[in-house]
Structure 1
């Protein structure tokens, strides 16, 4: 059965089949994926800052009891 399906992969954004040497089906999908990655990186950094701030506040509150 696999001999009937041409070698391909799927676009990570829209899921359309694409040639195995391409990463996205269009520049639009590439831009959408890059935006998602930037947003995810921003949220990850924000979470790190929030955890560090919470730890510092706990440390300061224990220090000044």
Structure 2
């Protein structure tokens, strides 16, 4: 195998990998859109950043300094 043949194989592998990745993303998006119509609204809530609520002052121990 010559160097140019090796380069051809590497380029072909990269192109096939990119095409398969794009195809998989399209299939995943199609399936997500298709099945979202069957899910109840509670499963469609966004799962953004969840932050803890600040502790209320009444729950502090009496010996803690503020």
What TM-score, normalized to structure 2?
A: 0.54
**Take 1:63 and 1:52, find their aligned partners in 2: how far apart are those partners?**
18
Moved runs in structure 1, 4+ residues, more than 3 A? none
CA distance, structure 2, for counterparts of residue 46 and residue 62 of structure 1: 24
Counterpart in the other structure of 2:30: 56
- Cα RMSD, aligned residues only: 1.4
Aligned-pair CA distance for 1:58: 0.4
Gap regions ≥5 residues in structure 1: 1-26
The total of aligned residue pairs comes to: 39
What corresponds to 1:38 in structure 2?
A: 12
TM-score scaled by length of structure 1: 0.55
Structure with higher RCO (Cα < 8 A, 6+ apart): 1
Higher helix fraction: Structure 1 or Structure 2?
Answer: 2
Q: Using the alignment, how far apart are the partners of 1:41 and 1:53 within structure 2?
A: 18
